[in-house]
Amino acid sequence: MYYLTRLVEFEASHRYWNPEFSLEENHRTFGKCVSPHGHGHNYILRVTLAGYSDPRTGMVLNVKELDRILKEVSSEFDHKFINADHPAFHDRIPTTENLAIAIWQRFAPKLSNAKLHRVRVYENHDLFADFYGEE
């Protein structure tokens, strides 16, 4: 049983704003993140698969196949302003937590021979969220 982890970077922007909050409440809660046109990050997406290694390749999942899925998922976010450009975030705040679960929901069904163990999203090197599929 191995846990194989792979990283991919995507460069996106986001904004924190709750339409049910007053302007003042948004500022108090989200600080500089309420800036109307958003701000950005070099996000790092780090997925971990759990599985047995294929005796013919010595790998849990061929890294080329893993990269293909990672690219498919991350391209929904890469070079985008997430709030405006991604339908799942029109009415959801794109925090690292919410990005982690959204990526899990897109990534997990694409795997056949391995199990998704963890999705980690780094906003920068000081802050990240992990989601393990436990809702």
Interface residue list for a copy of itself (CB under 8 A): 1-9, 11-14, 16, 18, 20-21, 29-33, 35, 37-42, 48, 53, 56-60, 62-64, 78-81, 84-85, 92-98, 100-101, 124-132, 134-135
Among residues 20, 79, 90, 135, the one annotated as catalytic is: 79
Nearest to a copy of itself of 40, 110 (CB atom): 40
Report the distance separating Cα 88 and Cα 103, nearest Å: 11
**Strand (E) or helix (H) holding 9:** strand 2-14
Report the distance separating Cα 135 and Cα 123, nearest Å: 22
Catalytic, 41? Answer no
CB of 88 to a copy of itself, least distance (A): 12
Active site residues: 33, 79, 123
